[in-house]
């Protein structure tokens, strides 16, 4: 199973749409980690043949009462806990996010909010942040993630805009 992961698009939807368009038939799911949930709603309408999951971020004030700030999904023998990260103080530490992921039984924690890509394992949880597609804060180009899941393993890639 292949999953595209996006975060922090901040109303710049065209790059996300282009990436999804190029990957039609190659990916099984798109997960959106917030900061402009309306971006997800717009994209979802353009690609009815694609499965989407998403959560709200700190900039989603007008829709945060309608959509979750975190969620979980079980796929290919893995459980993913996904969130924007602001409610778990991810800019300060990964401790709360890791605790909540473990509490939910997840082996993978996906988050955004920092606008900086990350990939590491800690206390039995793999943490993955795809970075920001439109406003990166790490001096790199806009980025997104690709996760490949099999029952035996999970692989994580950061991919960058040209």
150 CB neighbour count, 10 Å cutoff: 11
Inform me whether the pLDDT recorded for 35 exceeds 90: no
Average pLDDT over residues 15-22: 96
- Token pair 């602001």: residue: 86
Q: Give the per-residue pLDDT at 51.
A: 96
End-to-end CA separation in angstroms for the chain: 25
pLDDT exceeding 70 applies to what percent of the chain?
96
Exposure string of 116-127, with b = 16+ CB inside 10 Å and e = fewer, is: bbbeeeeeebbb
Inform me whether the pLDDT recorded for 93 exceeds 90: yes
CA atoms within 13 A on the CB side of 7: 30
Span of 33-42, 58-67, 147-156 with lowest mean pLDDT = 58-67
Grade residue 125 by pLDDT with cuts at 50, 70 and 90: very high
- Closest of 111, 121, 67, 109 to residue 85, by C-alpha: 111
For residues 21 and 34, the model is more confident at 21
Grade residue 10 by pLDDT with cuts at 50, 70 and 90: confident
Inform me whether the pLDDT recorded for 80 exceeds 80: yes
């Amino acid at each position: 199973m292949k999953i595209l992961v996006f975060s922090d698009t901040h109303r710049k939807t065209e790059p996300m749409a282009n990436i999804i368009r190029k990957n039609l038939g190659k990916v099984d799911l798109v997960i959106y980690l917030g900061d402009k949930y309306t971006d997800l709603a717009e994209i979802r309408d353009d690609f009815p043949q694609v499965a989407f999951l998403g959560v709200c971020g700190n900039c989603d004030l007008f829709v945060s009462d309608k959509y979750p700030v975190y969620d979980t999904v079980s796929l290919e023998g893995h459980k993913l806990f996904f969130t924007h990260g602001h409610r778990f103080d991810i800019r300060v530490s990964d401790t709360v996010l890791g605790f909540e992921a473990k509490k939910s039984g997840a082996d993978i924690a996906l988050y955004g909010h920092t606008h900086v890509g990350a990939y590491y394992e800690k206390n039995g949880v793999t943490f993955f942040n795809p970075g920001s597609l439109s406003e990166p804060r790490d001096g790199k180009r806009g980025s997104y993630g690709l996760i490949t899941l099999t029952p035996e393993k999970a692989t994580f890639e950061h991919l960058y805009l040209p």
